[in-house]
Structure 1
């Protein structure tokens, strides 16, 4: 392909047209990109951010709504940026291909125009030669007319005066005839050449017309490719700006989030410590009761042996093995799928470091239930806490929440927690049976969507509820 630097000077008009069209298209595109042309894309992105925010809120239970929104935006922008950059690369490739085709067609048009100029020049030259030949023929005819015409052989014989005169006359006539015939032959050949050149010229003109049509089509394709590339470039630039803005916003919110987490950490630690201490006391009481029961059983066995005058049996020993938690017979507290499971959560991009831990434990499971869905006690127990969302001193971000104490079975103590309730229908100290209504799913506290956060605390530690249900 001929490079732009080596193309003939006749082509810039085509290129100028392309640049002018592209410049106009770029202006129109810039206006369109920020207007209704991208409405669907903006709606899709908004939906993606909202879905990501819901996921973020479920994953990072206690991030406030504003922070989780920025985390979601950053995640969506980062997800979309590689695809947008690849689309830009692809669009730029199409521009290069289209521009190459325009360049090739431009070269072909220039070559055809050069051929046309050559043929046109040749036709003019041939026409000039034909005019000269016709002048020669005219001169011969004029001279013959002045001499009374070219004499025939018979008249030459009759009019001759001796052999020498006859010979001269015949030689002159032959010479005239040869000149005239040669001139006529040359004129015929020039005429044929001229006709052939005109046919070639017509073919070249048709080729130029066809190439111009192709060039215009190629220019249109190039324009569309450049418009598309400009649109992709605008998307990439916008995503980069939005990513930087979201990251900056999260950086600015770090102190706020860290302060919130510090308060949360304190409240969570106190709540867990309260449950752990309560369960420790319950287990200790149960241990002592078990030891007392075993000691009493051993005493009675020894007394019975003494009365029967036989050796005392080996004393019983209290069990120290924790009871299988399945003994509590937990059932599902709500009929809904799980949207977020129990386990470790890494640091959300660009936000907080969780005090250098790199993440935190999502200490329960989230059930994706609609607000107002009934929540039932998974097993019998006492209502240890029923706290309104307005009481932030108890558990920041938990909203309306309830804690059930299911007591001790063997060497295991169990409690269950229910967060973000719309409302609860139990009161502290009340005993509830398995399957009894305790409240309704909601989105109070740090929550961006209706769900139930459900925890199981076994022997002072949060465990995966799915291992007990």
Structure 2
């Protein structure tokens, strides 16, 4: 029998907390969730609750539901935290993109300002060049135009005068040509700068549009991250509240556990004492038989003047499989195995043990399923549990005696009824009772235990 707690009515405080947790759960699942989603989540909680009750039979339905929700929320928390980390990563990426685009916009605007300043300077230079050309043309006009070579020659009063006139004319033409060439280059540069300015302006416009979209994406990522953080915060708050609720239940659970610990220990101790007596009587009988055999062998040897043969000794116990146990129910799977059960979510310390021993195996059988004797034996107990603290419910204990030096008894709990009585002999395969849901049970099943030589052992090793 596991160290379990019988079902007891939930306190008003517990009922209020469970109601609050249920309401919180519904809100946390989001108002946008449709009915199917809510039904799926309710089904998930119910399935988890049943698993919790199979693993921790001592828990009442109310606390099992709280533990189930706690398990589900804690199971969801890592994924929610990862989603939050992913969302925060997207925020960082979006912010980086916005920053990079802003830098590109700033660079393009600086280029735009530089080109604009260059264009303004070019315009000033063009104006100055045009002014210089105008002055040259005006001076030529005042002087009757640039003189021809012939007029310069006839107008000269000597070699030196002619040379001077020609030099002046050449210089004037050179100056005018240079000014015109410079003006042409300045105009070309200005056209090129205007084209570059137009391209930069277009780039700035595109970059600003991209930056605006990136900013929207960043805000969207921040909103998503905030939503994911809220989910994580909600899960943390809910798991904290449920942990606190389970923590508050410790005194009641510990009190119930203490009673059941005492009850379970007493049942096993009673069986162990009976088996101790059985084994002691078996050993004495075996020893008497061996002694008699040794005495007879010695007398026979003496009568025949032969050395006495080596003395026989009581053989060591053989394999417990010699009992040849069959399954007590037919076609029903094992829903919970034998072994240590850790404390659910570390909230109930079980007197510092950190868990408890599930001292048998559970067969998932419907109420009313026949239970058969797995081996022949005497009925040691066939009774009904008394009071709400009796976790076994209707129970049977069969004594299978001693086989090859091993004493075996089998226990059957939570029965709906039994068909045998104390001290009755039953054969292997004989009907002894029916699967039920009595005592500390949250659903129809058979709890089956094997006590070998005074110790609870895994029934699967004997079946």
Write out aligned runs for 1:14-413 (5 A).
34-36=30-32, 50=46, 52-82=48-78, 84-142=80-138, 144=140, 149-154=145-150, 160=155, 162=157, 173-216=169-212, 218-279=214-275, 290=285, 324-334=319-329, 335-369=331-365, 374-387=370-383, 391-393=385-387, 396-409=390-403, 411-413=405-407
**Separation (CA, whole Å) in 2 of partners of 1:196 and 1:377:** 105
**Separation (CA, whole Å) in 1 of partners of 2:174 and 2:340:** 113
- TM-aligned CA distance change 1:43 to 1:143, over 3 Å: farther
SS, match of residue 451 in structure 2: strand
Q: How far has the Cα of 1:256 moved from its partner?
A: 0.9
SS, match of residue 36 in structure 1: coil
SS, match of residue 375 in structure 2: coil
Q: Determine if contact 2:420/2:433 at 8 Å carries over to the other structure.
A: no
- TM-aligned CA distance change 1:89 to 1:146, over 3 Å: same
**Separation (CA, whole Å) in 2 of partners of 1:250 and 1:353:** 11
**Separation (CA, whole Å) in 1 of partners of 2:318 and 2:170:** 141
Whether 1:428 and 2:424 are equivalent positions in the alignment is: no
- 1:215-253: per-residue Cα shift (whole Å, max 9, x none)? 345435534543443344223322321232122111100
Q: Determine if contact 2:417/2:436 at 8 Å carries over to the other structure.
A: no
- 1:183-215: per-residue Cα shift (whole Å, max 9, x none)? 211211111211221233234234434533543
Q: How far has the Cα of 1:62 moved from its partner?
A: 1.7
- TM-aligned CA distance change 1:165 to 1:444, over 3 Å: farther
**Separation (CA, whole Å) in 2 of partners of 1:239 and 1:425:** 47
**Separation (CA, whole Å) in 2 of partners of 1:161 and 1:318:** 162
* Count of residues paired in the alignment: 427
Whether 1:457 and 2:451 are equivalent positions in the alignment is: yes
**Separation (CA, whole Å) in 2 of partners of 1:320 and 1:56:** 45
Q: How far has the Cα of 1:342 moved from its partner?
A: 2.1
TM-score w.r.t. the length of structure 1 is: 0.72
Q: How far has the Cα of 1:411 moved from its partner?
A: 4.9
SS, match of residue 182 in structure 2: helix
Q: How far has the Cα of 1:436 moved from its partner?
A: 3.8
SS, match of residue 328 in structure 2: coil
Q: Determine if contact 1:397/1:445 at 8 Å carries over to the other structure.
A: yes
SS, match of residue 344 in structure 2: coil
Q: Determine if contact 1:144/1:150 at 8 Å carries over to the other structure.
A: yes
Q: How far has the Cα of 1:360 moved from its partner?
A: 2.8
Which shows bigger deviation, 204-213 or 41-50? 41-50
**Separation (CA, whole Å) in 1 of partners of 2:328 and 2:353:** 32
TM-score w.r.t. the length of structure 2 is: 0.73
- TM-aligned CA distance change 1:259 to 1:38, over 3 Å: farther
**Separation (CA, whole Å) in 1 of partners of 2:442 and 2:36:** 24
**Separation (CA, whole Å) in 2 of partners of 1:39 and 1:143:** 97
- 1:328-348: per-residue Cα shift (whole Å, max 9, x none)? 220122334434332333433
Q: Determine if contact 1:415/1:458 at 8 Å carries over to the other structure.
A: yes
**Separation (CA, whole Å) in 2 of partners of 1:367 and 1:84:** 37
> 1:467 — aligned with what?
461
Q: How far has the Cα of 1:121 moved from its partner?
A: 1.7
- 1:144-183: per-residue Cα shift (whole Å, max 9, x none)? 556654444345556x485598777656654543343232
Structure 1 segments unaligned to the other structure (5+ residues): 1-30
SS, match of residue 412 in structure 2: strand
> RMSD in angstroms over aligned alpha carbons?
4.5
Which shows bigger deviation, 412-421 or 108-117? 412-421
- TM-aligned CA distance change 1:439 to 1:232, over 3 Å: farther
